Amino acid sequence: MDDQGGITVQRALELPGLRGGLPEVVACADRLGRTVRWVHAGEVPNIASLLKGGELLLTTGLGLGTRPAEQRAFVRRLAERNIAALVVELGPRFTRLPATIVETAQGAGLPVVALHREVPFVTVTEEIHTEIVNGHYALLQRAEEVHRRCTQALLGGGGIPQVLRILSDFTGNPVFLETPDGQLLYAAGGAGDTGADPLQVWEGLRGGRTSREEGPPANAVLVDVPGGGHGSGSVRARLVLLAVAGPLSPLHRMAAERAAGVLAVVLMQARQEEELAARGRGDFLTDLAEGRIRSDDAPAQAKVLGFRPGEGPLLPVVMRLTTDLGVAGNWSVLARAVLEELSSAGVPALFGVRPVEGRVPVLLGLRTESERAAVADRVAAALRAGVERAGLAHAGTQPPVVVVGVPGGWATASAGLRHAAETATAAQGLPDRPWFDARRLDIDLLLWRLREHPDLAAFVDRAIGPLRQHDAASRPPLLPTLETYLAHAGRKAETARELHLNRQTLYNRLARISELLGTDLDDPQTVLALSLALRARRHVS
């Protein structure tokens, strides 16, 4: 049994039915590895019109004709139908096959077998068909094994990338998941000994095409992943198997169809292609940030994902959401809304979502570094507008935190994205701003990284513990006064205006703070310690 879903001509000749007829291969003995898809018996001259290809044709020769021209035409029509082999039982019609038949078959590449003993054609047909059906069952079992492994991967917490890797390992070739209009979502390796990156393989074989109207690659297997839309023809995505390291067989298509059923469940959970695509881009940006993608490989992979910046610097931006997005569909709505808002920002942008961390990473292409602030304003507004359109900005929820990182090239994009992501987490709890400059929050980031260290909590308690105890039991609270005073660098007039206090009231409160802390608020070292403690208290219990 082969991977084509049939048996070979050689195997058919070894079965008892044909073996009992003393078969002799008289033409194309080197082609007995051809696949027998089915068996047909017939004696009519136009039998070729009844065949579809891959059949083993059994005949006594009555339909071959008596004249050489008829015999040549008969054999050529069979060869054009691409049947597996012609088996002629010798007897009343032919005691030996005419040379015309043998020579024509040899020239056309059609295996011809002569049977020297009479055999029951029905027995031969039943034997071969049973072998084929058993072989098909064996193929189904192998395809079902792929389905079982994919299902186990999902139950074990895996996702689409792991399903694609299982299918890629099984086929030995690259596997891709794309949207119905041909946009790449995920890719898995399997380029065999070539060592080629699957995304580069895709870019090369697709030639930059994105439209389904341009047709699939010639050496590919395409399998639709059913969707949950109206009508039986709803397609949510497509699996694409590319024959790079080896040929693709019907067994591989069967395995892909089983995997497509598993992927359909995942996509139904994701609900929208926008979310799926955004998750794929989010995975890429996260892999880049965490160093799993080399900076030399990143531009080509980003290009496949639709990001084509110019020669200017790249600007990392990360939005951190504090709203619970566990409700199904929220990420889909957010992904679609943010994508539409970013399209009007006027800069090349690669945008993704990371539901696990509650992050929205973005990589922007700038013309020059001098436009960083203006672009940051537009992009931060677009991100926040997307959150509002998704219905995730409402009373009682903390606004999203948008952090703009340090611009640079692909070599620094990894560190820039990681720095922005960590800073976005560290910035939670700060007074709301349209966006934060990551370079100005390095102290907050350092304190956040020390949040688990017991010395940090002890430092906060020593520095401002008495004020925290006072505010827990008495009014008015004094910590806001201290924060505002330090924010204005000790300028009392500005502090009083912001707090809406007269100067004497402010002086009294500052005196009370100094008394409780036992410190001099004019001392630079004291001011530094208090500033750090006020920042650090957000990160300690």
Fold of 454-539: Arc Repressor Mutant, subunit A (1.10.10)
Asked whether this chain's domains 7-129 and 454-539 adopt the same fold, the reply is no
Assign domain 7-129 to its CATH superfamily: HprK N-terminal domain-like (3.40.1390.20)
Task: Report, as an integer, the average pLDDT of 200-223.
Answer: 60
Tens digits of residue pLDDT in 15-36? 999 999 999 999 999 999 898 8
Residue the block writes with tokens 């006594």: 60
Neighbours of 233 (CB within 10 A): 9
Q: In angstroms, rounded to a whole number, what is the distance separating the alpha carbons of residues 515 and 503?
A: 18
What would the two tokens of residue 280 be?
A: 């794929």
CATH architecture of 158-270: 2-Layer Sandwich (3.30)
Radius of gyration of the chain (CA): 36
User: If residue 141 lies in a helix (H) or strand (E), which one and from where to where?
Assistant: helix 121-155
Residue 117, class by beta-carbon neighbours within 10 Å (0-12 exposed, 13-18 middle, 19+ buried)? exposed
Can you give the residue ranges of every domain in the chain? Answer: 7-129, 158-270, 276-414+425-434, 454-539
Q: Is the pLDDT of residue 242 over 70?
A: yes
DSSP 8-state symbol, 523: -
Q: Is the pLDDT of residue 89 over 90?
A: yes
Q: Is the pLDDT of residue 500 over 60?
A: yes
User: 429 or 510, which is more confident?
Assistant: 510
Neighbours of 500 (CB within 10 A): 7
Residue the block writes with tokens 């531009």: 299
pLDDT of residue 81: 92
pLDDT of residue 25: 95
- As a whole-number percent, the residues of the chain with pLDDT over 70 amount to 88
Q: Is the pLDDT of residue 327 over 50?
A: no
Tens digits of residue pLDDT in 415-473? 999 999 999 999 988 888 999 999 999 998 999 899 888 899 999 999 999 999 998 88
pLDDT of residue 269: 64
The answer to which of 216-220, 361-365, 378-382, 387-391 has the lowest mean pLDDT is 216-220
Using alpha carbons only, give the angle 359, 364, 370 rounded to the nearest 5 degrees.
125
Q: In DSSP terms, which residues pair with 57 in a beta bridge?
A: 40, 86
Task: Report, as an integer, the average pLDDT of 393-401.
Answer: 72
**Angle at which helices 479-487 and 492-499 pack, to 10 degrees?**
130
Q: In angstroms, rounded to a whole number, what is the distance separating the alpha carbons of residues 244 and 242?
A: 6
User: If residue 186 lies in a helix (H) or strand (E), which one and from where to where?
Assistant: strand 184-188
**Angle at which helices 454-473 and 479-487 pack, to 10 degrees?**
120
Q: In angstroms, rounded to a whole number, what is the distance separating the alpha carbons of residues 511 and 519?
A: 10
Using alpha carbons only, give the angle 193, 196, 199 rounded to the nearest 5 degrees.
145
pLDDT of residue 354: 85
Position 136 confidence tier, pLDDT thresholds 50, 70, 90: confident
Using alpha carbons only, give the angle 434, 437, 438 rounded to the nearest 5 degrees.
130
Is residue 308 within 8 Å of 249, Cβ to Cβ?
A: no
The answer to which of 64-73, 191-200, 326-335, 405-414 has the lowest mean pLDDT is 191-200
Task: Report, as an integer, the average pLDDT of 354-370.
Answer: 90
Q: In angstroms, rounded to a whole number, what is the distance separating the alpha carbons of residues 274 and 237?
A: 11
Average pLDDT of every residue of the chain = 84
Complete DSSP assignment for 233-263: T-EEEEEEEE-SSS---HHHHHHHHHHHHHH
User: If residue 350 lies in a helix (H) or strand (E), which one and from where to where?
Assistant: strand 349-351
Residue 403, class by beta-carbon neighbours within 10 Å (0-12 exposed, 13-18 middle, 19+ buried)? buried
Task: Report, as an integer, the average pLDDT of 331-348.
Answer: 79
pLDDT of residue 390: 75
Q: In angstroms, rounded to a whole number, what is the distance separating the alpha carbons of residues 69 and 365?
A: 72
User: 143 or 414, which is more confident?
Assistant: 414
Is residue 276 within 8 Å of 267, Cβ to Cβ?
A: yes
Coil, helix or strand at residue 159: coil
DSSP 8-state symbol, 408: B
Tens digits of residue pLDDT in 228-237? 554 445 777 8
Q: Closest Cα partner for 238 from 212, 219, 213, 203?
A: 212
User: If residue 483 lies in a helix (H) or strand (E), which one and from where to where?
Assistant: helix 479-487
Tens digits of residue pLDDT in 44-71? 889 998 898 889 999 998 888 889 999 9
Q: Is the pLDDT of residue 112 over 90?
A: yes
Tens digits of residue pLDDT in 364-374? 999 999 999 99
Q: What CATH number labels 276-414+425-434?
A: 3.30.70.100
Is residue 438 within 8 Å of 412, Cβ to Cβ?
A: no
DSSP 8-state symbol, 117: S
pLDDT of residue 191: 47
Residue 45, class by beta-carbon neighbours within 10 Å (0-12 exposed, 13-18 middle, 19+ buried)? middle
Q: Closest Cα partner for 31 from 51, 54, 10, 45?
A: 10
Any alpha helices (H) in 305-354, and if so which ranges?
330-343
Structure pTM? 0.53
66-81 b/e (C-beta count within 10 Å ≥ 16 → b): eeeeebbbbbbbbbeb
Tens digits of residue pLDDT in 282-318? 889 988 998 888 888 899 888 888 888 988 999 999 9
Question: Can you give the length of the chain in residues?
Answer: 541
Q: Closest Cα partner for 33 from 5, 3, 7?
A: 7
